[in-house]
Structure 1
Amino acid sequence: MKNQRIKTLISALVFFFISIGSMAQVPDEVILSLKTGDASTLSNYFNQNIELVVLDKDNVYSKEQAKQIVASFFSTNTPQRFAIIHQGGKEGARYAIGNLTTKQGVFRVYFLLKEKGQKAYIHQLRIEKQ
């Protein structure tokens, strides 16, 4: 009986930590698109309107406008690697901060994702010179 309670408690704790970890996790496709400079795949995660800061561009843009701005950035700043340095969140919202290393220098990347239905959408994306 005591053994069964311990097993149940351990199972509950494992489930709890797995669910917390999945809430704060950024979709792999988002990370990969930043590593490879794939604006098209990244834009699949953009909300219909996105607060975007890319160097001197700073405004709320439509999904298509934001895709073009990010594609232009990637065409002049070819990514070499991207690494998340911090991420967190709560139920329904996640954020991540990372470093994007390009041939032209290192940029700080920040993005905020919010859940809508079963999918996470990027509501805010910042790419700034470090």
Structure 2
Amino acid sequence: MKKLLIVLVVLLGGFISAFAVSAGSMEDDHTFAGPFEDVVGAIKQGDVNALSRYLDNNVEINISGKANSYSKAQAEIILKDFFSKNQVKSFELLHQGGDNSRYGIGTLATSGGTFRLSFFLQKKGGSFVLNELRFENK
């Protein structure tokens, strides 16, 4: 009976530690990598190619009060034009949130001025897509 108890304690301890390691790695993956973090990184670099991987088929873009809905291809052109005229100096993420959809709001400092940048990612199928970007003059 004593041997059975020792075996159960060892097995239970191994199960608990394996679960803790597995849960920790899942938390790390969620915290440090993913579409939201990729979009923030692309904005910090002014990298339209990296952003375009997440663009939805239709994207609403608002630049200084001029808003329109664009196809993915048109949105890439609009964003390339914006970032070519406004080289990124820095991007500071101020707010973020959401579960089935994610949003980020921050301050984008560029060679052409400072903007309040908001972006929205929506869950579509098994992944997130970028469906709205707003660049507002500060």
Same fold by TM-score, threshold 0.5 exceeded? yes
1:111 aligns with 2:109: no
C-alpha separation between the residues in 2 aligned to 1:57 and 1:83?
23
- Pick from 38, 45, 48 the counterpart of residue 39 of structure 1: 48
Scaled by the length of structure 1, what TM-score is found?
0.77
Structure with higher Rg: it is 2
Question: Secondary structure, in 3 states, of the residue corresponding to 1:70?
Answer: helix
Greater per-residue helix proportion: 2
Off by >4 Å, runs of 4+ in structure 1? 17-22
Is the Cα–Cα contact under 8 Å of residues 79 and 102 in structure 1 kept in the other structure?
yes
Structure 2: gaps (5+ residues): 1-8
Alpha-carbon spacing, 1:38–1:21, altered in 2? closer, same or farther (3 Å): closer
Task: Name the residue aligned to 1:75.
Answer: 84
Alpha-carbon spacing, 1:20–1:43, altered in 2? closer, same or farther (3 Å): closer
- The number of aligned residues is 124
Is the Cα–Cα contact under 8 Å of residues 49 and 63 in structure 1 kept in the other structure?
yes
Is the Cα–Cα contact under 8 Å of residues 54 and 126 in structure 1 kept in the other structure?
yes
Question: Secondary structure, in 3 states, of the residue corresponding to 2:82?
Answer: helix
Structure 1: gaps (5+ residues): none
Q: What is the root-mean-square deviation in Å for CA atoms of aligned residues? A: 2.8
C-alpha separation between the residues in 1 aligned to 2:75 and 2:66?
10
Give a deviation string over 1:52-110, Cα, whole Å, max 9, x none.
112253111101111111110101110011111000002x2111101111122211110
1:50 is aligned with what amino acid?
V
1:60 aligns with 2:50: no
C-alpha separation between the residues in 1 aligned to 2:50 and 2:86?
17
